[in-house]
Structure formats: C-alpha cells, structure tokens
Amino acid sequence: MERVAILGVPMDLGAGRRGVDMGPSALRYARLAEELEALGLAVEDLGDVRVPVAETLRRKGLRFGGENYLEEIRQAALELKERLRSLPEGVFPIVLGGDHSLSMGSVSGVAKEPLGVVWVDAHADFNTPETSPSGNIHGMPLAVLCGLGHPRLTEAFQAVDPKRVVLVGVRSLDPGERRLLREMGVTVYTMHEVDRLGVARIAEEVLERLSGLPLHVSLDADVLDPTLAPGVGTPVPGGLSYREAHLLMEILAQSGQVQSLDLVEVNPILDERNRTAEMMVGLTLSLLGKRIL
C-alpha cells in the first residue's frame, strides 16, 4: 500500500444527537493527511460526499428518529458506495464520519470480492426497524450489510456474509440485537472477552477466522473508554484503553489484509480540544503501519 484516498461523509442524520457531521473536519484538523504522508504514503483528499443539512429537511416536516431520514441517508450512502467503487486498484480508502450509518456505503463500496469486516465499536449496530428502541439508523448499518432491515436499505447495501463479520469491544446491546447476532452467526468479542483473553489473543483469533480475506475495519470512536475519547454521542464506560486500541490496530496491520477503513462517530461539540479526533488519527497510523521500533 502506497496510496491513500480520504473521503468525508459529514452526516448526522442517522444519529440521535447533532454534531458528528463535523467529524470529518475535526479529523482533518488533527492532521490526518499530514501524518499519513509522514509515513511515506501518497495521500489524496477527495473532499466530501454531499449530505443534506438537517435544518433544511426539517423545513420539509422531517425529524430525527424513526425512518424519517431513510431516503436521505440512503442517497448519501449510495454516493459513497459509487465513489469508492470508482477508485483505482491499490488505493486504500479512509472514510471520515459522520455517523455509523455511512458504513452501509463504505463496506458495500469496497466489497468487490468476498470481504471480512472487523467492526470495532461499543455497540453492535445490529438493530432493525422492528428491534430498535430509538429508530435511529446509525444503530442498524451492520444488520443491513448482513441482509437484515428495511428493504430500501438491504436491496442497496447487503454485501457481507455475517459469518465473515467480527465485532470487538462491544459493551452495549439491545435485546433484539443479542437474538439477531446469535441467529446470524456473527462473532462478538465483548469487553468481557477483552478483559479475560486480552487484545492480542483476540486479534489473532480474528485474523485466523478471517484468514485469506481482504479486511475492512470500521472504527467507532465510542469503542474507546470515554476518559480517552469524550467526543462521542453515545459514550459507554469501560471501553478499550489507549494501549489495547493501538495493539489491536498494530496486529491487524501486521497481517497485511486490511484494505479499507472507516473512522466514525467523532463529535467535536462534545469533545475536549479535539482529543477524540487526535486519538482516532493515532489509531489510523498504527493500522497503516506506524511502529514503535
């Protein structure tokens, strides 16, 4: 890998709190491109996918929650999917969010062949309209990618075999998600397993399970402990530590299998001096080969 393409998705329509639409700017301000170039990579920033402003949609009578923004989210994710599909071979895309609903477009956009997905998140994002307590679409993208959910979304974005999906760092699940994850055969490492087994063993098991597949890593800032990453809309205590998160990225990097990345749910409104965006940039560098020695 020598070439990286950065593409922003300034979207908060799938979330329950405003602010993650400013995440791409915060990540750029944290010198993502410059730090990647310092690793010897050629970086091109492709700008942002077009996303409607929530205030404009409200004038049309739409509101947050439920499925009111489904078509607008679908359209933004479709544009992301098509832009990723058009990238030349050998380019490593980094998608900047934005809420996690954008991953419907990013994963389906890079899934030109059988793909393994490593979903690093405090939440499973495996709800459907029937199981979701809030109706917010950022809690549904992984289910959609596995073929569950609203038909307007699954017909456009179903892209992965659930048995080729691994979640790491989960510590907040809705009852319906627990049932669906078991039924679909998704592998889940909760924080219980992180505490008991350790990150190194989990990372090795993930790579063994997804052996031979190109990998997409979807990294949600709320997987980190909120003391490290306060700038998230849905913080959950007891997350990954600084070294646990970096070690996970380092081991995934050593496999040579990772071919694409999402950085999502950074909310600068809730952050402290851009700490969360800076932490996510550091993890990106570890995933793309930065080493201590």
Query: Which residues contribute to the annotated binding site for Mn(2+)?
Result: 100, 121, 123, 125, 220, 222
Q: Cite the active site residues.
A: 100, 121, 123, 125, 138, 220, 222, 265
CA distance 56 to 110: 31
The answer to whether residues 101 and 139 touch, using CB atoms and an 8 Å cutoff, is no
CA distance 281 to 90: 21
Token pair for residue 54? Answer: 């929530």
Token pair for residue 180? Answer: 């669906």
Residue 229 CB neighbours (<10 A): 30
136 in helix, strand or coil?
coil
Region class of 169: left (phi > 0), else alpha (psi between -120 and 50), else beta: left
